[in-house]
């Protein structure tokens, strides 16, 4: 499987990013509420990608909540959406966007994770309670241990090394190890993917997971 392959969370199809986008627009544009189809990619590693829908009359805060849950949240850092110098208010409606807009999302202004959002197209979906519906996501990337080449399970935050289970045992300070996560925030701050409930399992049907139950960290 090529690294950037992923899965459709409606029917399970496996394909690359562009093929999945075309597949969604062809097969999963239904009737119901008018939504934007968004693509999200890691700004520095576009092998991390998502496609999701959000009602056009929802606010930016709905997308913020979702990106925090699936990719970003560690300790309640600040976040922002912007196009060039224009920063959006979190309460602003997504209806101010246009097809083709490219938006920068930043989470944490210390060790920042940057995500590029593209407004792909308008799409309809069956009405649902959750504002955001995940439609597709990249399969977990193959990350190698920097010491021996075996599949990595964690990152040594102090040394910027990715480590397999064996090599991790030889590290003294295990408080500085962070698990491998399917996120562009892997290895940053205290990010452990605690709120990411969207793991693809080909052996199960693909119900939309409910929002993770959690106590939000205080935002500062
Ligand atoms: Zn599908
Ligand atoms: Zn943090
Ligand atoms: Zn190793």
Distance 115 CA to ligand 3 centre (A): 29
Tens digits of per-residue pLDDT, 61-97?
A: 999 999 999 999 999 999 999 999 999 999 999 999 9
Distance 169 CA to ligand 3 centre (A): 10
Distance 119 CA to ligand 2 centre (A): 28
List of residues 6+ apart from 85 with CB closer than 8 A: none
Distance 202 CA to ligand 3 centre (A): 28
How many angstroms separate the CA atoms of 87 and 79, rounded?
11
Return the pLDDT at 215.
65
Tens digits of per-residue pLDDT, 5-52?
A: 999 999 999 999 999 999 999 999 988 999 999 999 999 999 999 999
Q: Which of 42, 10, 38 is nearest to 23 (CA)?
A: 10
Residue 192 has pLDDT above 50, yes or no: yes
Which of 105-119, 131-145, 201-215 bottoms out in mean pLDDT, i.e. has the lowest? 201-215
Q: Which ligand is nearest to the CA of 145?
A: 3
Distance 10 CA to ligand 1 centre (A): 5
Q: For the chain, count helices (H), then strands (E).
A: 3, 12
| Residue 34 C-beta-side C-alpha neighbours within 13 Å | 6
Q: Select the CATH number that applies to the domain covering 6-138 from these four: 1.10.10.60, 2.40.110.10, 3.10.290.30, 3.40.50.300.
A: 3.10.290.30
Tally of CB atoms within 10 A around 85: 5
pLDDT-derived band at 210 (thresholds 50, 70, 90) equals low
How many angstroms separate the CA atoms of 216 and 12, rounded?
31
């Amino acid at each position: 499987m090529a690294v950037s392959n992923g899965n459709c969370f409606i029917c399970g199809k496996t394909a690359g990013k562009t093929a999945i986008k075309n597949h969604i627009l062809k097969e999963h544009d239904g009737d119901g509420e008018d939504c934007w189809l968004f693509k999200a990619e890691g700004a520095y590693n576009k092998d991390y990608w998502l496609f999701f829908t959000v009602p056009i009359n929802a606010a930016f805060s709905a997308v913020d909540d979702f990106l925090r849950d699936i990719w970003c949240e560690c300790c309640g850092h600040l976040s922002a959406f912007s196009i060039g110098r224009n920063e959006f208010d979190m309460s602003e409606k997504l209806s101010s966007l246009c097809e083709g807009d490219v938006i920068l999302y930043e989470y944490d202004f210390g060790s920042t994770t940057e995500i590029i959002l593209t407004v792909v197209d308008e799409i309809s979906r069956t009405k649902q309670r959750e504002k955001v519906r995940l439609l597709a996501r990249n399969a977990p990337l193959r990350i190698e241990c920097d010491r021996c080449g075996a599949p990595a399970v964690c990152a040594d935050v102090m040394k910027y090394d990715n480590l397999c289970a064996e090599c991790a045992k030889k590290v003294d300070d295990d408080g500085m190890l962070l698990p491998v996560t399917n996120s562009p925030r892997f290895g940053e701050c205290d990010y452990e993917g605690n709120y990411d409930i969207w793991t693809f399992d080909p052996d199960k049907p693909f119900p939309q997971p409910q929002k993770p139950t959690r106590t939000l960290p205080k935002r500062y």
